[in-house]
Amino acid sequence: MNTDITIRPKLQHFGLVTGNLDAMTGWYQQVLGMTVNYRFGNEGDAPGGPQGGPPFRAAFVSNDEVHHRIVFFEVPGFVPDAGPRAGMQHVAFEYRTFDDLLGTYVRLKSLGILPSFAAEEGFQTVFNYADPDGNAVELNVNNYGNDWTATEHMRNPPKGHAQRILIDPEKLVAARLAGVTPEQIHERIFAGEFAQARQHHGPRHTGTGRA
């Protein structure tokens, strides 16, 4: 038993409160391939909340070997908070390759799910979406394929690299289909190509506590 140093546990899961459990679980299944591993509470038969609180339903979902990565708690009457508040700003999910990220963009677009914005950040490329409650969900890829190198980039950005450049996913997809490599795409982004040409039509996040 170690009582002298700070142990560094890994992030296992997070919980979200919602007023629409079915919409939230459906969205995360479509976007991230989540599976509902456990749920409790049914319409008209929800258990009492903790400490005498309101009744609620819950669903525990995961998209890997861990039992659950997200748990959704549905409380009847709860609605997304549109006002300024402190809280979680966004949550991010990392893809293995640049093509996985672009392929996901194309698939989600066919389902009518569009990003609120996409950006090149040097060490990573990010597409930001909003779930049904307006929570910011970032899909990204490590442009180096190496966490140590990406961390060094964050700490000491190469000269000429802006912190964030807004980009057009359609131009990235077209370039890859034309045979341009991911490395060449990143170089050309910083040379001024692939800039966002139009406003994305994905839902906007509300409140200052969200992106």
Domain assignments of the chain as residue spans, ordered by start: 14-74, 91-190
Choose which CATH entry (1.10.287.3510, 3.30.930.10, 3.40.50.300, 3.30.720.110) describes domain 91-190. 3.30.720.110
Report whether 100 contacts 149 (CB < 8 A): no
How many residues comprise the chain? 211
The DSSP code for 105 is H
> 192: which 2 tokens?
């001024």
Confidence tier at 50 by pLDDT (50, 70, 90): low
Own/partner pairs for 95-99, CB < 8 Å, 24+ apart? 95/139, 95/140, 95/141, 96/141, 97/141, 97/182, 98/125, 98/141, 98/143, 98/176, 98/182, 98/185, 99/176, 99/182
| Residue 7 pLDDT greater than 90, yes or no | no
Mean pLDDT of 105-113: 97
The H or E element that residue 30 is part of is helix 21-32
The DSSP code for 58 is E
Residue 17, class by beta-carbon neighbours within 10 Å (0-12 exposed, 13-18 middle, 19+ buried)? middle
Q: Does domain 14-74 have CATH number 3.10.180.10?
A: yes
> pTM of the full predicted structure?
0.84
- Tell me, what's the pLDDT at 42? 62
